[in-house]
């Protein structure tokens, strides 16, 4: 049962630049294993110690798998899986006036 996987820009070097790839499996873990067979290195970006990596979010049909069944989330033919790296950080620049004596 093929599903479409949306690959984020930061991971496209693993898929020869492809923004989407197809994979198969009955659950998300199976789909990731299938991805790994075709695109080595993908799994280590998504899974560590049989759990999802903390700063990568995975969605099946717009549903965050962390709030469902995680790697055991069922996959059906025609589903779409979105890999979305978490975005954090940055710097706030403050503009301050120098203190002056009155």
Check if the beta carbon of residue 41 is closer than 8 Å to that of residue 94.
no
Report the distance separating Cα 34 and Cα 88, nearest Å.
Answer: 29
Residue 58 has pLDDT above 80, yes or no: yes
User: Which pTM was predicted?
Assistant: 0.81
Report the distance separating Cα 98 and Cα 69, nearest Å.
Answer: 55
Domain 2-85 belongs to what topology?
Answer: Ubiquitin-like (UB roll) (3.10.20)
Identify the pLDDT of residue 29.
Answer: 96
Residue 63 has pLDDT above 90, yes or no: yes
Chain-centre distance for alpha carbon 24: 17
Residue 96 has pLDDT above 90, yes or no: no
């Amino acid at each position: 049962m093929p599903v479409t996987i949306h690959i984020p820009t930061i991971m496209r070097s693993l898929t020869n630049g492809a923004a989407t790839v197809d994979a198969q499996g009955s659950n998300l873990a199976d789909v990731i294993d299938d991805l790994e067979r075709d695109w080595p290195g993908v799994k280590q970006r998504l899974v560590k110690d049989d759990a999802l990596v903390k700063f990568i979010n995975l969605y099946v049909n717009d549903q965050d798998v962390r709030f469902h069944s995680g790697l055991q989330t069922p996959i059906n033919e025609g589903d779409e899986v979105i890999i979305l790296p978490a975005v954090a950080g940055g710097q706030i620049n403050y503009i301050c006036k120098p203190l002056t004596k009155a």
